[in-house]
């Protein structure tokens, strides 16, 4: 993952694009790319795996940019969020159900 992060940063830095990477702009970009990902599932569940993978990669690249912009470590924030999720969704209550934690 470190090689991927370095490659994404180099791509951005070589083009001097970090000047445009405010939290607001990156949040918008994540949302736009997520919309493009969702578009592949608009009318049915038939999709081109390569095209969907490209859109997923775009979302993830912008998430890497957001982490850089905020100065947070991706692994750290994911682990912290997983700790919260595990507390909200204990296996004995959440297994096999799609209910929100407030309904368990």
Backbone angles phi, psi at 71, to 5 degrees: 70, 35
Share of the chain above pLDDT 70, in %: 100
Mean residue pLDDT across the chain: 96
Asked if residue 1 has pLDDT above 90, the reply is no
pLDDT tens, 66-103?
999 999 999 999 999 999 999 999 999 999 999 998 99
Q: Structure pTM?
A: 0.89
Distance of alpha carbon 45 from alpha carbon 37, whole angstroms: 12
- End-to-end, the C-alpha distance of the chain in Å comes to 36
Residue 69, both tokens: 């912009």
Which domains occur in the chain, in start order?
Answer: 1-72 (1.10.287.1080), 73-104 (no CATH)
């Amino acid at each position: 993952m470190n090689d991927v992060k370095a490659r994404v940063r180099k791509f951005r830095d070589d083009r001097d694009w970090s000047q445009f990477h405010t939290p607001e702009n990156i949040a918008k970009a994540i949302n736009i790319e997520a919309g493009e990902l969702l578009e592949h599932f608009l009318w049915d569940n038939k999709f081109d795996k390569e095209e969907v993978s490209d859109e997923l990669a775009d979302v993830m690249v912008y998430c890497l940019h957001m982490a850089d912009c905020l100065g947070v470590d991706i692994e750290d924030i994911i682990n912290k969020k997983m700790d919260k999720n595990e507390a909200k969704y204990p296996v004995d209550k959440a297994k096999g159900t799609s209910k929100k934690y407030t309904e368990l």
